[in-house]
Each structure stands twice: as structure tokens, then as C-alpha cells.
Amino acid sequence: MLVVLNATLKYSLLSSSVLALAGLGDSFLYIYLPANYKSLGLSVFWVGILLSVNRFTRLLLNSRVAYHLSKHGIKTITVATIVMAILTTLIYGFVNSIFLWLIARVLWGISFSTLRLSNIIYALQHNKQGFSLGLSKSITEIGSVLVLLIGPVLILHFERSLTFIFLASLSAIGLLLALALPQLKIKPVARKELILSFPSALNILVLLNTFVVEGMLVVLTGRLIYDGINISALQVLTIAGFYLAYRRICLIFFSPLSGWMADKFGFQSLFNYTALFLVIGIALIAFGVTLPGIIIAFTFSAMNASVAPGSALTQPASMVKDISDNATWRDIGAAFGTLTGSLLLNISYLHIVFMVSLIPISIGLFVQFNNSKKKTIYNGIS
């Protein structure tokens, strides 16, 4: 059983700041590699592999991470993992071998999986769990936005190695914050619990939502805009960049709001209704109302993602297992959605793709609403 801390946001703020600082090198890599892969001796193929291998690493290791967190203590593993994240950022500044690149990206996948799970657990210790989760999500996204602003300026004035050394130095602040975290006592995760459970109706909907929005839509936003408006490729790139930036802004500003609403109206209710509006956004895209559809989908996807971990909880004793499973199904959706979106970049009639995706996601939403209604009736009787 988790030991619930007093009603303060201190530890949620600390853990989310640790994750935000740890991810600076990874966030910058997403704009650095595509622009500089030739000078690094890499091909476009390897850029795609390097930017996605960390996600597939998480698919395999989320449950193993949950086991070690419960066995060795959340603070202990968090401190060790932020050190590993700092080292991966340093490696980015000096590595030239594709083998070492792969090692660094796998290590970051392990780091992110661990720090994300740790961060969610610390956030759930606050008595206002929804607001704490939402604020935590917002802070972690601020780190990504920060590095997207300062990274290009750094690389413009300094060489690659100095830029990543500077980012690693900022990440080192996260180590000091991790040391200030309390040690949490949790029920050890049994080895049999390491196996990914068959997804609940909620996790199936999370899988479908992330596949369509965080995977396909993120990749295909530019193409959808280009198909719908007769403008230049440069204008498309600018508009697509705005919409993707808007997605980050939603995660920063709407996550605390959705968390507050979850505390007021319940995790399940907010999860269900944000998923409903997310589906409405996809439907608008499917029927050619592209730009409003993208805005609605990104807005409610951000709100839905911030409350999903709290919505996935079944009982206090299985908290680590529930969070780990929910994160894994989210990773599966995002990873394969991104891959699918990349394969669909050159096809015509993309709106039909989103129209087809409406079928499973609508069924999943119906089942989730139905299950939530049954739980409410059952809880009312008991």
C-alpha cells in the first residue's frame, strides 16, 4: 500500500521537474537530428530508427520498471535513472557510431519509462489527485517547449558537444531535485504481474486515441492541411508547425484544468467526455472540416491524456501495475500510430483514413461509457 503524503504539491512538483529536466536532450534531438543527420554520417532511415527506438524500448520494459521501482524504492530508482538520463544527453554530444547511438536511445527509453511512472506515483500522493496529475503533466511539457526555444540558439552559437553539455548541466539540476524526494513504501509487484494484462475497455480506448491522434494525426497534420487548402509547401509547414505547437500549449495549460475538473466531477466522467469530444474532432477531420477538427482533437486529447492514469486505477494495492499497463498501452498506440502515419504520408484521400478509424474508436467509446455506467450503478448499490 502506498503511504499517502500530506496535502502538499511539493513532491509532485519535484518529480515532474525531474522528468522535465531529464528530457531536455531527447526533446532537442527531435529537431537536431532531422536537420543535421548528413553531417553526423546518418541516413534518413537511421534518423527514423533513432527517434522511435526509445518508444519501442518502453513497450518491452514498462512492467520491468514497475517491478524494480517496487522492489528497490521509488526514490532510489528515480535518482539512479536521472543520472542515466544525464549521461545519455552527454553521449548525444560526442557519439559517432550508430551502435552507440542505439545504446544511448535505448538507455533514454528506460530512463523515460522509469521517470514517467515515478512521476505519476508521486503526483497521486496529493489528496487532489486530478489537479496534481494535471499540473505534473503541464510541468513536464514546459521542459520540452523550453528546449525547443533555447536549443536552436545554442547550436547556432556553439558546437554540438558544448550544446549537449549545457543541456546535460541543466538536467543535472534534476538530480538535486530527485534527492529531495521522499522514499515511498509500496507493495512489491509480483513477477507474475510483470506480464501485460489484457486491456480494459478504458485502456483499449487509450490505445485507439493515441494511435489516431498522438500517432497518425501528429504525423499527417501537414498533409491534411495541404490537401484542404491551395497554398505553398512553406505555408503548409508554417501552419502545421503552429498546430503542433498548439498541441504542446494545450498540454501545458489544459492539463491542470482537466485535473481540477477530475477532482470535481470524477476521473471516469472527465475521461469519458473528453474522449467523446476527441472523437468529434476526428469525425470533423474525416468529413473534411479539417482545421477545426485538428484543434478539437488536440485540445481534448491533451485533457484526456492528463486524467487517463488516474482513470485507469482499480484499487490502491494495484496502483503501480495499473499505471504501468496504462502507460504501455499508450506507448503501443503512439508508436504504431506514428509508424502508420509515416506509411500513409504519400497516399491520397487521407480523410477516408480518419473516417475508417472512427469505427473502432466509436465502438471503444460506447463500451467505455457502458462500463462506466455499470460501475456507477454497482457503487451506488454497495
Summarize pLDDT for 131-165 with one digit per residue, the tens.
888 888 888 888 888 887 788 788 778 888 999 99
Entry pTM: 0.74
Q: Are residues 95 and 223 in the same domain?
A: no
| Residue at which a domain ends, from 130, 155, 182 | 182
Summarize pLDDT for 272-294 with one digit per residue, the tens.
999 999 999 999 999 988 889 98
Summarize pLDDT for 193-247 with one digit per residue, the tens.
566 678 888 989 999 999 999 888 877 777 777 665 565 555 555 565 566 677 7
Please give the Cα distance from 256 to 303 (Å, whole number).
9
Tell me how many domains the chain contains. Answer: 2
Q: Are residues 16 and 97 in the same domain?
A: yes
Q: Are residues 58 and 119 in the same domain?
A: yes
Length of the chain: 382
Q: Are residues 43 and 74 in the same domain?
A: yes
Summarize pLDDT for 63-113 with one digit per residue, the tens.
777 777 777 788 888 999 999 999 999 999 999 889 999 999 999 999 998
CATH of the domain at 84: 1.20.1250.20
Q: Are residues 343 and 261 in the same domain?
A: yes
Residues 250, 138 contacting (CB under 8 angstroms): no
Helix axis angle for 74-92 and 98-123, nearest 10°, is: 150
Q: Are residues 146 and 281 in the same domain?
A: no
Residues 11, 182 contacting (CB under 8 angstroms): yes
Q: Are residues 105 and 201 in the same domain?
A: no
Which whole number is the average pLDDT over 252-258? Answer: 83
| Residue at which a domain ends, from 129, 154, 182 | 182
Q: How confident is the model at residue 376 (pLDDT cuts 50, 70, 90)?
A: very low
Residues 4, 125 contacting (CB under 8 angstroms): yes
Mean pLDDT (the chain, rounded): 81
| Residue at which a domain ends, from 121, 153, 182 | 182
Residues 177, 17 contacting (CB under 8 angstroms): yes
Instruction: Provide the residue range defining the domain that includes 253.
Output: 195-373
The pLDDT value given to residue 359 = 93
Residue 5 lies in a domain: no
Q: For residue 73, what are the CA distances in angstroms to 129, 228, 294?
A: 21, 52, 41
Q: In the chain, pLDDT over 70 holds for what percent of residues?
A: 85
Q: Are residues 144 and 246 in the same domain?
A: no
Report which of residues 116 and 280 the model is more confident about.
Answer: 280
